[in-house]
Amino acid sequence: MTVFLLRRLMQAAVVVLAMSLLVFIGVYAIGDPVEILISPEADQIERERAIAALGLDLPLWQQYLVFLGKALQGDLGRSFVFNEPALQLILQRMPATLELAFGATFAALLIGLPLGLYAGLRPDSSVSKGIMATSILGFSLPTFWVGLMLIMVFAVQLGWLPSTGRGETAELFGLRWSFLTWDGLAHMVMPAINLALFKISLVIRLTRAGVRETMLMDYVKFARAKGLSPARVTFVHVFKNILIPVVTVVGLEFGGTIAFSVVTESIFAWPGMGKLIIDSINVLDRPVIVAYLMIIVLMFITINLVVDLTYSLLDPRVRLESKA
Amino acid sequence: MNDTAPTLEVRELRTHFFTRAGVVKAVDDVSFTVRRGKVLGLVGESGSGKTVTGFSIIGLVDPPGRIAGGQILFQGKDLASLSEAEMRHLRGNRIAMIFQDPMMTLNPVLRIDTQMIETVQAHAKVSREEARQRARDALGQVGIPSPDERLKSYPHQFSGGMRQRVAIAIALLHKPDLIIADEPTTALDVTIQGQILAEAQKLCAETGTALIWITHDLSVVAGLADDIAVMYAGKVVESGPVSQVLDAPLHPYTVGLIGSVPSRNRRGEPLRQIPGMTPSLLNLPEGCAFRSRCPRAEPNCAVPPPMPEYRPGRFARCIHPHLEEAVAA
Ligand SMILES: Nc1ncnc2c1ncn2[C@@H]1O[C@H](COP(=O)(O)OP(=O)(O)OP(=O)(O)O)[C@@H](O)[C@H]1O
Ligand code: SF4
Ligand SMILES: [Mg+2]
């Protein structure tokens, strides 16, 4: 287990290093922030002073080394725009994005698992066919369109739910969260559902496929031959087996959810990292872009590790192999 | 319950699969009787319908399959008349089944103790501790060393033979009146096989459990069974007391089957194989299904042969049985 973790940490370090280089070069290629940041009226001397202050006069490789050295000390540069540490800027907005992504994942499991289970157990019923047809919509309707429709119906016409912002927040671990207040929760419902749409469909289809496959296994028939109740067969023997692929895929999807929250956050004016990165790209705020991408990379690595660990908890066969 | 009734009586059982390609008559007229403490050997080549017969008895034929006819009487009671709840009460309790493939029988994500304790508690109102105790005893009974530790293992930590013994232990938990054992020793090595066979025989003699032993292996049947039923293409083609059937088979298929097994009495003679292939169940020829492979076939075999009792207790589904040899026996 320790060996496994150590090996994974070393792999992670290599990935982060490689990504930092790619991200740095990639961002450099996007465009010249000087054009945007420095007023056209500034004279040559002022320009050069500003460029030197931003560290943009050094050759690229030196800029990278400087960046790397500082990054190792937890300094990912200062935002050109806000003149605040980029990391701090992003971390401030991270809770909003995280709670939205968690909310969406939670909703996807809460809605997707029961529906998928039903559709898998009664594949020929018309309800199941309805569930499956609807799940195709979840895959194919564009997120922004569904988001706008949600706002139209539930905020504008029915007036049931608020459509913008995080609402009231409460503090936990020194960070502000919406899910701790009723008002905040109400604000979260629509963006979370919007973000969850794709995942709900995914969970439904994975669960259904898993149930149908598992039901045919000898061990399920043997469980029935032991005289167990249908509930025990379904919720212990079948369910534990389908959790393995569902947890894996939903877990790996989590990184994608955070990345995709860009669209949802823009529509619902949700002040998270997604909205920050869009604004930063617009003004070529390089340190923020780089810091954001690095954090996303770290997050993906962490998620993969957590998924692997959960996976080995669910599937005893994996546990032994990682020990060996 | 009826004390004089045999433990199991299967009468003209038909189990068909209604597939898109057509009706697969996997079991089509199967009859046999198993009494208390007796062992019936159910033999036949691959695809002859042995497993489907077993599933039919325990009530686990899944769609598109369905019992299409006949009767299954368990201790005199027609199983078709039972509700699903009543049937569930019998399963794993009074009727147990050991499956063919030990690698697939146990749930890979549940520990052995979970899978055994749930079986105990499904039919007996006992504490978890008591259930664990019984599970451990059952593992000991089938010769699994240090059962306490093994209870905490997962199936993948066992070999195929060990898994099959766990499955056998699960079948024994409630001392059932009937055990359907579907090729339970195929995955075991010879010594263990002998051990399990002896254990099975002891169980039948001591507790009066009736046993249906499904197998390809005639030598196992010879040593273990009291009666034998030979299946071919979904039908029982010959049945009777095991020694008589093996010494003087009536049906040409049984003759072929015995001829294809190595035997001490015929040492030096070449093994004879039954020519041809098992016919597809989807389009069986009219009349005797063995016709295309039968050395004794005659034109009148094209009508479905009846299954008369040629000798007391001995039935054969054939118009031209080997009666001469049977007389000599
Ligand atoms: N679900 C199903 N759908 C269609 N046909 C089936 C199904 N299950 C079994 N059959 C058919 O029933 C026939 C009998 O199968 P069965 O498993 O009983 O054979 P068997 O005698 O146990 O063979 P083996 O020795 O290989 O285990 C086979 O031809 C098989 O194709
Ligand atoms: S009925 Fe005819 S074809 Fe069938 S086994 Fe007897 S002799 Fe052979
Ligand atoms: Mg079989």
pLDDT in tens, B205-219: 888 899 999 998 888
- With CB atoms and an 8 Å threshold, state whether B60 touches A225: yes
Burial letters A158-194, b for 16+ CB under 10 A, else e: eeebbbeebeebeeeeeebbbbebeebeebbbbbbbb
**pLDDT for residue A323:** 44
**pLDDT for residue B285:** 76
User: Locate tokens 């956050």: which residue?
Assistant: A265
How many beta carbons lie within 10 A of that of residue A23, not counting itself?
19
| Mean of pLDDT values over B102-130 | 91
| Mean of pLDDT values over B267-289 | 74
CA distances, A134 to each of A57, A62, A127, A153 (Å): 55, 54, 11, 19
Q: How far from the centroid of its chain's Cα atoms is residue A291's Cα?
A: 16
| Mean of pLDDT values over B175-182 | 92
Positive or negative CA dihedral for A252, A258, A263, A265? positive
Q: Select the more confidently predicted residue: B78 or A324.
A: B78
Distance (Å) from CA B6 to ligand 3 centroid: 25
* Chain A nearest-CA residue for B156: A317
CA distances, A208 to each of A242, A300, B276 (Å): 9, 27, 43
Count of alpha carbons within 13 Å of B26, Cβ hemisphere only? 21
Do residues B80 and B23 lie in contact, with contact meaning Cβ atoms separated by under 8 Å? no
Distance (Å) from CA B250 to ligand 2 centroid: 11
Domain B8-94+174-328 top-level CATH class: alpha beta
**pLDDT for residue A19:** 85
Both ends of chain B: CA-CA distance in Å? 39
- With CB atoms and an 8 Å threshold, state whether A227 touches B123: yes
Which residues are placed with Cβ below 5 angstroms of ligand 3, an ion? B 51, 100
- Given pLDDT bands bounded at 50, 70 and 90, which one contains residue B270? low
Q: Select the more confidently predicted residue: B131 or B5.
A: B131
Q: Identify the helix (H) or strand (E) that includes residue B180.
A: strand B178-182
> How far is the C-alpha of A9 from the C-alpha of A3, rounded, in Å?
10
Do residues B95 and B74 lie in contact, with contact meaning Cβ atoms separated by under 8 Å? yes
- With CB atoms and an 8 Å threshold, state whether A320 touches B123: no
- Say what angle helices B160-172 and B128-141 make with each other, to 10 degrees: 120
* Local structure of A16: helix, strand or coil: helix
| Mean of pLDDT values over B127-136 | 92
* Number of A–B residue contacts, CB under 8 Å: 79
DSSP state of B91: B
- With CB atoms and an 8 Å threshold, state whether A222 touches B90: no
CA distances, B16 to each of A179, A282, B180 (Å): 57, 68, 20
A213 Cβ contact list (under 8 Å, min separation 6): none
**Chain A residues inside the 8 Å CB shell of B183:** none
Do residues A94 and A100 lie in contact, with contact meaning Cβ atoms separated by under 8 Å? no
> How far is the C-alpha of A54 from the C-alpha of A277, rounded, in Å?
20
- Which alpha helices (DSSP H) does chain A contain, by range? 2-30, 33-37, 44-54, 60-72, 86-121, 126-140, 143-150, 182-215, 218-225, 230-232, 239-267, 273-282, 286-314, 316-323
> How far is the C-alpha of A228 from the C-alpha of A242, rounded, in Å?
19
Please state the length of chain A: 324
How close, in Å, is residue B300 to chain A by CA atoms? 43
**pLDDT for residue A33:** 67
Distance (Å) from CA B222 to ligand 3 centroid: 19
**pLDDT for residue B262:** 67
| Mean of pLDDT values over B233-241 | 93
- Given pLDDT bands bounded at 50, 70 and 90, which one contains residue B329? very low
**pLDDT for residue B180:** 93
How many beta carbons lie within 10 A of that of residue B18, not counting itself?
12
**Would the pLDDT of B165 be above 80?**
yes
Please state the length of chain B: 329
A140 Cβ contact list (under 8 Å, min separation 6): none
Burial letters B200-235, b for 16+ CB under 10 A, else e: bbebbeeeebbbbbbbbbbebbbebbbbbbbbbbbb
pLDDT tens digits, A208-234? 999 999 999 999 999 999 999 999 999
pLDDT mean by block of 10 residues, chain A; 324 residues: 80 86 78 68 77 75 82 80 84 87 92 93 90 88 86 81 78 76 82 90 93 92 93 92 88 83 86 86 82 85 82 72 44
Is A122 an interface residue toward B (CB < 8 Å)? no
- Which alpha helices (DSSP H) does B144-289 contain, by range? 147-150, 160-172, 190-207, 218-224, 242-247, 252-259
User: Locate tokens 């500034």: which residue?
Assistant: A42
- With CB atoms and an 8 Å threshold, state whether B110 touches A240: yes
**pLDDT for residue A324:** 38
R_g (Cα) of chain A, nearest Å: 24
- Given pLDDT bands bounded at 50, 70 and 90, which one contains residue B12? very high
B12 forms beta bridges with none
Position A287: which residue type? P
Q: In what order do the strands lie in the sheet with B309-311?
A: B95-98, B178-182, B210-215, B39-43, B227-232, B235-241, B314-316, B309-311
Pocket of ligand 1 (CB under 6 A): B 17, 19, 24, 26, 44, 46-52, 65, 100, 281
**pLDDT for residue B267:** 61
Is A318 an interface residue toward B (CB < 8 Å)? no
pTM summary value: 0.81
| DSSP assignment of A41-66 | T--HHHHHHHHHHHT-SS-HHHHHHH
| Mean of pLDDT values over B103-109 | 90
**Would the pLDDT of B276 be above 90?**
no
Count of alpha carbons within 13 Å of B15, Cβ hemisphere only? 30
Distance (Å) from CA B304 to ligand 2 centroid: 9
Residue B325 has φ and ψ, to the nearest 5°, of -65, -35
Q: Which of A219, A229, A244 sits opposite B107 (nearest CB)?
A: A219
Is A317 an interface residue toward B (CB < 8 Å)? yes
